[in-house]
Amino acid sequence: MIDTIPRSRRLFRGRAAPARRPRALRYAHVIGWGMEVPSQVLSNSDLEAIVETNDEWITTRTGIKERRIAAQRETTTSLATRAAQKALDLADVLPSAIDLIIVATATPEHIFPSTASLVQDYLGATNAGAFDLSAACSGFVYGVDMAVSKIQTGTVNTALVIGAETLSRVVDWTDRGTCILFGDGAGAVVLQGSDTPGGVLGSVLRSDGSGWDMLTLPTANSRETYLQDGAHQQGRIYMDGRGVFRFATRVIGESIRDALTQAGLTPDDLTLVIPHQANQRIIDHAAKALKIPEDRVYSNVARYGNTSAASIPIALAEAVEEERIKPGDIIALVGFGGGLSWAGDGHRVDCRALPPVVLAHLGPPPGGLRLRRSAPPADPQVAAADAALADDVDSHGARLPAPPPRADQQVARREGRGVAGNGGVLSQCFTSPPLGANAPRFPLSAAAKRYPQMPPIPQLLPPRCA
Ligand code: COA
């Protein structure tokens, strides 16, 4: 006799089958973004006192003019937390509403606990799962892909994806081929599920481990033979610059094309590409490979250098601030780096999925859009945890003075609009130090004092300079 019970229910004969999750796929939209960079600036001319180099060489070969260096009390976790707070504030999302936190980083404070778990604690994101993702400079795009997959299947509604690095602590300050490239910082996005079509439309993740030794950061567990060959050191970046350059220029266009093809789009549809900020020559190559004008490829590598997993979300946050992204735009993100690994994706920015504060950043909201307010946390414990964050806690547990709210938040609150439904908590995020020319610079003579986590400067200098 033919068994008429559906195969999926046979296992549950005699007891009720579990409720089925609705299968309709959701759309995952980026609804908030934020960035945090240290205030200390290391310019090309500052580097001239550390290695034999000059501004002209660095500028023509890389496009980099300066990079940010974390202060002693700043860590990957503290930068990540501040970037995340800004993204949550902009998205008008409470920490307690986050389901998942992914931190892409190559410079975690620990292998375990994950940076993501520390961020989860500092944010008070009491309902979130959290893990770190290791895919070097491709990590942020990998993280977005992971979060999008969870959102699309309905198992997660709100995810925080962060790229955060303190590369200055793992750079070999005697190697002029690498130390000129890297900097510190963090960027974050909030992704949320919606029935509104759009958001992340397609993505590709790729790896070629046969090129593993072109870009490495050995740990305490690295093979002895690898660490004793004279070229590699535990906890220091090693790079075959020319090899990585060839690899990056090969994959940068290809991965965006593949992601766009998945979404039924072509490079001509792109308003803006946000590539990993490694080198201006590689960034320029993206435009050539995609046959699009150079001004459609975003770059801020001159100001931050290569911040690895943080570079794309930092660039995304700045692109929005500079009004380079508007509702309706198609944008693509592309990362590449150690592994070797690379990843690209395509997004449609849809205003119907965006919170009002984000829309205010992107341009005037279209007619008929209904403003959304987040409810205050119902759980008094969650409310208390959120309120405690107003004092802002860095990963050393030190309390920082609360900064004044942003001007637009003050106006919004006066007018009774809900900018951030969580009261004053997330307004603490807007404490970025001034960027660019206005940023405070540290005198080189004080560098050793400012970098106690690194060898003192005389040890950094090649013998002929000491
Ligand atoms: N200042 C001055 N001279 C330098 C220098 C520096 N900082 N670094 C290297 N040089 C010298 C080299 O010693 C070499 O001198 P030589 O010809 O006398 O031997 C010369 O400049 C050329 O070096 P080379 O390494 O061939 O330069 P390059 O044109 O390949 O540029 C990089 C070097 C690192 C800028 C380039 O290879 C690059 O950007 N690669 C990709 C790196 C990257 O993006 N990595 C991260 C990916 S996620």
Q: Each residue of 123-160: pLDDT tens digit? A: 999 999 999 999 999 999 999 999 999 999 999 999 99
335 CA from centroid of ligand 1 (Å): 21
Last residue of a domain, one of 364, 395, 424: 364
Q: Is the pLDDT of residue 267 over 50?
A: yes
Q: Is the pLDDT of residue 344 over 50?
A: yes
Q: Is the CB of 243 under 6 A from ligand 1?
A: no
Higher-pLDDT residue of 179 and 397 is: 179
d(Cα 444, Cα 351) in Å, to the nearest integer? Answer: 47
**pLDDT category, 316, cuts 50, 70, 90?**
very high
* CATH number of residue 110's parent domain: 3.40.47.10
Residue nearest to ligand 1 atom 38, measured at CA: 241
* 276-315 pLDDT per residue, tens: 999 999 999 999 999 999 999 999 999 999 999 999 999 9
**pLDDT category, 226, cuts 50, 70, 90?**
confident
Mean of all residue pLDDT scores within the chain: 78
**The pLDDT of residue 142:** 97
Query: CA of 389: how far to CAs of 318, 374, 382, 395, 460, in Å?
Result: 25, 18, 11, 12, 38
| 64 and 131 belong to one structural domain | yes
Mean pLDDT confidence for 395-410: 38
| 96 and 44 belong to one structural domain | yes
238 CA from centroid of ligand 1 (Å): 13
Q: Is the CB of 44 under 6 A from ligand 1?
A: no
Q: Which atom of ligand 1 is nearest to the CA of 47?
A: 7
| 74 and 140 belong to one structural domain | yes
Kind and range of the H or E element at 337?
strand 330-337
**pLDDT category, 354, cuts 50, 70, 90?**
low
| 51 and 91 belong to one structural domain | yes
| 238 and 341 belong to one structural domain | yes
**The pLDDT of residue 308:** 98
Q: Is the CB of 361 under 6 A from ligand 1?
A: no
Of 18-32, 57-71, 356-370, least confident by mean pLDDT is: 356-370
177 CA from centroid of ligand 1 (Å): 5
| 73 and 164 belong to one structural domain | yes
Mean pLDDT confidence for 87-115: 95
The residue whose CB lies within 8 Å of the most ligand 1 atoms, and thus the one to mutate among 45, 52, 61, 172, is 61
| 312 and 410 belong to one structural domain | no
Percentage of the chain beyond pLDDT 70 is: 70
Q: Residue 157 domain-assigned?
A: yes
**Which of the residues 279, 306, 347, 429 is marked catalytic?**
306
Percentage helix, strand, coil for the chain under 3-state DSSP, each rounded to 5:
40, 20, 40
Q: Is the CB of 278 under 6 A from ligand 1?
A: yes
Q: Residue 418 domain-assigned?
A: yes
**Which of the residues 29, 179, 232, 276 is marked catalytic?**
276
Q: Residue 340 domain-assigned?
A: yes
Is pTM beyond 0.75? Reply is yes
Q: Is the pLDDT of residue 85 over 80?
A: yes
Percentage of the chain beyond pLDDT 90 is: 61
**The pLDDT of residue 115:** 97
| 391 and 283 belong to one structural domain | no
Q: Residue 87 domain-assigned?
A: yes
Last residue of a domain, one of 336, 364, 392: 364
Give the strand order in the sheet containing 184-194: 27-36, 184-194, 158-166, 100-104, 129-133
**The pLDDT of residue 250:** 93
**The pLDDT of residue 326:** 85
**The pLDDT of residue 243:** 95
Residue nearest to ligand 1 atom 3, measured at CA: 53
* Structural domain for 400, as ranges: 383-432
Q: Which atom of ligand 1 is nearest to the CA of 338?
A: 48
Q: Which atom of ligand 1 is nearest to the CA of 281?
A: 39
Q: Residue 13 domain-assigned?
A: no
**pLDDT category, 361, cuts 50, 70, 90?**
low
Please count the helices (runs of H) and the strands (runs of E) in the chain: 16, 13
| 46 and 178 belong to one structural domain | yes
d(Cα 198, Cα 457) in Å, to the nearest integer? Answer: 51
Q: Residue 296 domain-assigned?
A: yes
Last residue of a domain, one of 334, 364, 394: 364
Give the strand order in the sheet containing 272-275: 199-207, 341-348, 330-337, 272-275
| 360 and 397 belong to one structural domain | no
Known catalytic residue: 306?
yes
Q: Is the CB of 138 under 6 A from ligand 1?
A: no
| 328 and 181 belong to one structural domain | yes
d(Cα 12, Cα 10) in Å, to the nearest integer? Answer: 5
The first and second tokens of residue 246, run together, are 């060839």
Q: Residue 370 domain-assigned?
A: no
Question: Exposed, middle or buried, 42 (CB in 10 Å: 0-12/13-18/19+)?
Answer: buried
| 289 and 405 belong to one structural domain | no
Q: Residue 313 domain-assigned?
A: yes
Mean pLDDT confidence for 318-330: 90
The residue whose CB lies within 8 Å of the most ligand 1 atoms, and thus the one to mutate among 48, 105, 215, 245, is 245
Q: How many domains in the chain?
A: 2
Known catalytic residue: 351?
no
**Which of the residues 44, 137, 232, 422 is marked catalytic?**
137
265 CA from centroid of ligand 1 (Å): 36
**The pLDDT of residue 400:** 33
